[in-house]
Amino acid sequence: MQPTDFSRYLTNFLSKYLPAERGSSQNTIVAYRDTFVLLINFMESIGTKINKLTVKELSRESILNFLDWIQKERKGSDLTRNARLAAIHSFFKYLQYQHPENLHQYQQILSIPMKKAEQKAMNYLSIEAITLLLQQPDLTTRKGRRDLALLSLMYDTGSRVQEIIDLTPLCVRLDKPATIKVTGKGNKTRIIPMLDGQVNLLKNYMKENKLDVPCANMYPLFFNVRGEKLTRAGINYILEKYADRAAMKNAKIIPKQISCHCLRHSKAMHLLQAGVNLVYIRDILGHVSVTTTEIYARADSRKKREAIEAAYVEIALKETPSWIKNDNLLEWLSSL
């Protein structure tokens, strides 16, 4: 069977261009791969077999139909649609320079706009809620001690869930000044300081699981019963389990919908409310620009109220406006 141009270009895009030329992370490559798996499935569902799928078959119309299928059939959100479209855009930008013979077709696809996604209100926990959540693991069990070390580290460092998954004992420095090295989006690393309470939790956890010896340096820091690193679904399950327990004790302060990113948002908001400069919060979270970090300042209603109160100047009216004293509003308006 003769391979098609699409199979050849896609293989080079995922296995050579993204990792070698763009320096994309493994997570990005996997996300892009999943997009094209869905696209291939969609094209097969409308009658184009994978062994006959060519670049020419991928017209602007077929891509728009695919994006509609993502939302209507698979119930994807606008954000999901935009993520799939970003992967497709990246592929056709690659084709523009590598194989420009169909440039007009590529540019038609590149002109498909992103959808303006609805900005949801930021979901974060109060300090009281975080305290209650971290009181739920059963510290008489090995798993409970692991879960406390995991959740407290996620909150204290404001790390993304994938960053926690990828941690190894080599990333942890327990001697003063205690720090943890996190690798984030685009393979960018950052060093985050740790406070004494977190250091003690990690030290005890690593000692109990024999992760404090040199031969364990490249093992996953947090792992399941098979010794494999935890998955996103696994960590979400752990968080939701303890959130449910916390809600049974105080449902008012625990939101019904909670995610691992909620802990990251919570840490950022608590740092902001404590008066920490946005520049330092940006560095802790690993944002490229402080503009991204400003979403926390915009979301913090307490800070807004304090700013308004600080700028408030009381104005005493020496005389009641005439329109207030006049019962006949029309009469007053006509006198103007």
Q: Annotated catalytic, 185?
A: yes
Q: Annotated catalytic, 264?
A: yes
Task: Considering the candidates 264, 265, 267, 282, report the single residue annotated as catalytic.
Answer: 264
CB-based contact 126:253 (threshold 8 Å): yes
Distance set, CA 188 to CA 24, 30, 77, 159, 182 (Å): 11, 18, 28, 13, 8
Q: Annotated catalytic, 325?
A: no
Q: Annotated catalytic, 296?
A: yes
Task: Considering the candidates 115, 181, 185, 203, report the single residue annotated as catalytic.
Answer: 185
Alpha carbon of residue 283 to chain centroid: 16
Q: Annotated catalytic, 270?
A: no
User: Sheet harboring 189-193: ordered strands across?
Assistant: 172-173, 179-183, 189-193
CB-based contact 154:264 (threshold 8 Å): yes
For residue 316, give both structure tokens: 């005493």
Task: Considering the candidates 160, 267, 270, 282, report the single residue annotated as catalytic.
Answer: 160
Residue 189 DSSP SS3: strand
Task: Considering the candidates 99, 173, 261, 303, report the single residue annotated as catalytic.
Answer: 261
Q: Annotated catalytic, 265?
A: no
Contacts (Cβ under 8 Å, ≥6 apart) of 211: 169, 205, 219, 221
Residue 223 DSSP SS3: strand
Which residues does the annotation mark as catalytic?
A: 160, 185, 261, 264, 287, 296
